[in-house]
Structure 1
């Protein structure tokens, strides 16, 4: 496992340097991004983390976050990007089990009275 410290700010312009570091790692490496130093996380930081995650996936590297502030967790949740991180990394335990034959996703289907059967 490799710990990659980021902060106090993180912008999409920083991704080229971070991407180069990821590409130099062997496949199967686990990288933990310590984001506890991000003092004012914003959507630019979220974009940079998303790009970092994409590069890692292409290189066969698993990435997780450590030390995510409440604000960063909120931004990740609002953008839907908390699902690309390993369960428990943000301090949230995974939800229930998917029913047999269904995909495990974060949306539950609801039925409204009067809806046509599908």
Structure 2
């Protein structure tokens, strides 16, 4: 398991990361409401943003790799992320990505308390 870097999950860092997601989440939601196919490119950004945080918050400076076991990843997170990446333009995948963000934010808080 790749351990989390405690400095990388400080409240300030996580709050900034999550605020960026909230902004992007609103754009994705609006794109789904429009049903014009534009959600895909924003979802790709959201996935990249999520993966960069997971990898960047780990003790290694490697790029995100699906075969790695990250301490910060929520339960069944990698399986869920694969599902999202298979069909990122679907509304269900957007909802699942939103849940991964929420669960990761909570996991950061739990890990901060543990350390």
TM-score range, shorter chain: under 0.3
TM-score w.r.t. the length of structure 2 is: 0.25
More strand by share: 1
Q: State the structure with bigger RCO (CA 8 A, min sep 6), 1 or 2.
A: 2
Larger Rg: 1
TM-score w.r.t. the length of structure 1 is: 0.24
